[in-house]
A and B are shown apart, each in its own frame.
Chain A
C-alpha cells in the first residue's frame, strides 16, 4: 500500500528555517519524481516544488513564490523527500503536502507550518 507521511511542521518565526520530511513506503521511491504542495488556511492548493528521480538527473523545479528560499531534495536510501524552507515569511503559513508525481495519485495527510512572531 502506498503511503506518504509528512512531518517537521510547527510554529516558526519569520526569517527562520524549517525542514519538512515526506517519508514514503509501498513503492519504489527511487524511481519516483516527487512534489510538494501547500494550502494556506481557507485557501486553495498551490504547487511548491518538484524533484525528478536520480535516473532523470534529480533536477528540480520551484514555484516563483519560493524560488531561492526553498530547496527540495531526496534521500532514496531512506525513501524520504525533504523541503528545506529558509527565510520563512508569514505568507508561507499553511498545510504542506507531498505527492507522488505519477499524476499526483497519492497524497500525504499534510503537516502544518505556521510562520508567526
Chain B
C-alpha cells in the first residue's frame, strides 16, 4: 500500500495522560499536514511540515500539542495532559510541493479521552 498510513487507528486514554500518534506519508511527498476533525465538522488545520521544517502551526493549537518530522519522512503528533475536549479524529495528509490543493489523507487516529 503506497498511501498515507497512521497508527494507531484508535486510542482510548484517561484524562491527563500523554498520547503520541504516528503518520507515514506517501514517500515522494515532502509536505505533511495534521488536521483534527470532530463529528459533523470539516477537518481543522493543526500544523504542516515541508521536509523536516515545521512551517505553520495553528493558533488553536495549545502548548500541549507538539509535532515533529525529524528526518523529513514520518511524523509524530504528541498531546500532553489530554483533556476530554481533545477527543476527535486526528488526520494526517501529504502532498507534493506546489500541490497543496491536492492532499492525500490517511485513515486517521480516533482519540477518545475518558
A and B: real partners?
no
